[in-house]
Amino acid sequence: MPADSMAELISLLSVKSPYAILGTPESEWVDFKSVSPKGPYDLSTDKGKFEFAKDVTAFANAGGGLIVCGFKAKKRQSELYEVAEKVTPFEKKLVNTDSYKDVLTEYVRPLLGVKFLWFDHPADDPEAAGHYFVIEVSALPDSERWALVTRGLSENGQFVKGSWTVPIRNGDSTAYLAPDEVYRLMNDGLRTRYAPAPAAAAPEPAADRAKAREDLRATLGMEETPVLFFQSAPDQPHGLLPGMYADDGLRHRLSHQDTLRPSGFNWSLAHKRPESREGGFLLSGAPRRGLLIEADGAVTAAAAATPDMLGWGMEHYNDGSGPRSRRISVFALTEMTLEYFRLVDQYVLPLTDGAWTHRVVASDFGRPPARTLGPGDDPDFPFQGSPQPATGNNWNYAWKALGDPERDAYEALRHIYALFGLDISANPFTDIDRISTAKLLEKR
């Protein structure tokens, strides 16, 4: 049965069922592309760059959508649109995602929300082999439309300097914003720019809940312990968070967390219910970890950077440079981070409208003996890898919540790795711009 939504199509690729997608028609939300020896788009030519920029921008100017590479589409006599009729998986080396990002950065305004996803073809298929490349394009908010491609294309396939175009996905094809409509929008914008308007206060970023960190640290008895904090707060608090004490509300979610593993590195405490605390909740697993939710929904979580928490299993490895207990486990760190955002992004943020800010704070990581983190996976005995010491003692960074646990976990770890002078690409559980749940679950 053909896929009838973006979520269903992605799900079929995730479970390696590409043949179930055959028969899906191209539409306002999906475009299928077969792959030439130059890849889905030949970015060595102006025409290829324009086609890619145009396709992405067209989806952004409509309702968002997927460009699914690795399927041949054809129009049947009985169909209005082209449909996916054949799987054509291909080798990953045909796509350089950095080149794709560079094209969008250079030729599209404004910068759009685009994700690049890879999916494997079933390994036991004797008829085909390779991978599928999906470009997921987010819809541009109405307040920011329209996106445009900063170049037009001549009849001989060359960029025309000084030209631009506004493509829009229309059914299974691309339309362009008419010149009359562009003229009207420009004049409307000029009139709005010069019309007097009441001054509006810009929303303030979420405050740094430093006191919540201090309170939680004291409650957990971690005053002398290096601690990694995760925090999330609404930019505009609206009083008591709805659903805190409902039968199936936040308290129930904290008591029955949907964790990746029954006994993994997470924030769930078996047989322990959250304690009511000043209109919120406290879930204490002292002296290893704990989680505090304030009345307005702000969340503070603390994990000890010790051998029985973030340094789990690392006391067996000694690189000869000092105490063995100071090394952070890559696996424990990554899973704890992802589990935090799986809990907060899925069950706390949706309880109130408005933007949220996430924050990660590493406290006392540089205090002797400094915590260390190594590139790659955790070492196998004998000791391998070159761990790097924390380069600061009070590391505090924040970003606007993305609402996607894998992407927010990536942002958190990107900042944590920088504390050790490492790039996030040194983490083996990443997948482009996110932490891969699948890769993490492969780790035993």
Instruction: Pick the closest to residue 87 from 27, 55, 127 (CA basis).
Output: 127
Question: Which residue, among 124, 98, 94, has the nearest Cα to 34 in the 3D structure?
Answer: 94
pLDDT of residue 382: 39
Q: What is the 3-state secondary structure (H, E, C) of 23-54?
A: CCECCCCEEEECCECCECCCCCCHHHHHHHHH
Q: Which amino acid is at 346?
A: Q
Asked if 395 contacts 420 with a C-beta cutoff of 8 angstroms, the reply is no
Please tell me the predicted confidence (pLDDT) of residue 315.
Answer: 67
- Taking each helix axis as running N to C, give the angle between helix 405-419 and helix 330-347, from 0 to 180 degrees, rounded to the nearest 10: 140
Distance between CA atoms of 50 and 53, rounded to whole angstroms?
A: 5
Q: How confident is the model at residue 128 (pLDDT cuts 50, 70, 90)?
A: very high
Mean pLDDT of the chain: 88
207: pLDDT strictly greater than 70: yes
Q: Which domains does the chain have, with CATH numbers?
A: 6-191 (3.30.950.30), 210-442 (no CATH)
Closest CA to 87 of 8, 13, 15: 13
Instruction: Label residue 16 by pLDDT band (50, 70, 90).
Output: very high
Supply the pLDDT for residue 383: 43
The pLDDT of residue 270 is 77
What's the confidence (pLDDT) of residue 234?
93
Give pLDDT, residue 435. 95
Q: Which residues pair with 400 in a beta bridge?
A: 357
pLDDT for 19 beyond 60: yes
The Cα 296–Cα 78 span in angstroms is 56
pLDDT, residue 201, reads 47
Task: Note the pLDDT of residue 173.
Answer: 86
| Contact between residue 343 and residue 333 where contact means Cβ atoms under 8 Å apart | no
Q: Is pLDDT of 202 > 50?
A: no
pLDDT(194) > 70? no
pLDDT at 40 over 90: yes
Percent of the chain with pLDDT over 90: 59
Q: Is the pLDDT of residue 444 over 80?
A: no
CA proximity to 301, closest of 227, 237, 245, 410: 227
Which structure tokens are listed for 80? 């209005």
The pLDDT tens digits of the residues spanning 161-175 come to 888 999 998 888 888
- Is residue 66 predicted with pLDDT exceeding 70? yes
Q: Which amino acid is at 338?
A: L
**For residue 18, cis peptide bond before it (omega within 30 degrees of 0):** no
Question: CB under 8 Å to 36, separation ≥6 — which residues?
Answer: 42
**With bands split at pLDDT 50, 70 and 90, how would you rate the model's confidence at 190?**
low
Query: Residues near 85 by Cβ (< 8 Å), separated by ≥ 6?
Result: 22, 23, 72, 73, 74, 76
pLDDT value at residue 48: 95
Cis ω for the linkage preceding 369 (within 30 of 0) = yes
Name the residue with higher pLDDT: 244 or 374: 374
Taking only the tens place, the pLDDT of each residue in 401-440 is 999 999 999 999 999 999 999 999 999 999 989 999 999 9
Q: Which residue has the higher pLDDT, 382 or 199?
A: 199
User: What is the pLDDT at residue 193?
Assistant: 58
pLDDT at 117: 95
What pLDDT sits at residue 286? 92
Predicted local confidence at residue 56, as pLDDT: 96
Q: How far is CA 220 from the centre of its chain?
A: 31
Decide if pLDDT at 65 tops 70.
yes
Residue predicted with more confidence, 321 or 74:
74
The predicted pLDDT at position 78 comes to 66
pLDDT of residue 385: 57
In the predicted structure, residue 149 carries a pLDDT above the cut 70: yes
**For residue 287, cis peptide bond before it (omega within 30 degrees of 0):** yes
pLDDT class for 380, splitting at 50, 70, 90?
low
Query: How high is the pLDDT of residue 51?
Result: 96
Q: Give the model's pLDDT for residue 199.
A: 52
Residue scoring higher pLDDT (206 or 161): 161
The percent of residues in the chain predicted with pLDDT above 70, rounded, is: 91
Residue 381 reports pLDDT greater than 50: no
* Structure token digits, residue 2: 């053909």
pTM (predicted TM-score)? 0.56
pLDDT score, position 70 = 97
Q: Please identify which residue in the block is written with the tokens 């229309």.
A: 170
Torsion of CA 416, 422, 423, 428, to 10 degrees: -90
What 3-state DSSP class applies to 373?
A: strand
Concatenating the DSSP letter of every residue in 127-186 gives S--SEEEEEEEPPPPGGG---EES-EE-TTS-EETT--B-EEEETTEEEE--HHHHHHHH
Is the distance from CB of 131 to CB of 120 less than 8 angstroms?
yes
**What pLDDT, in 10s, does the model give residues 325-349?**
589 999 999 999 999 999 999 999 9
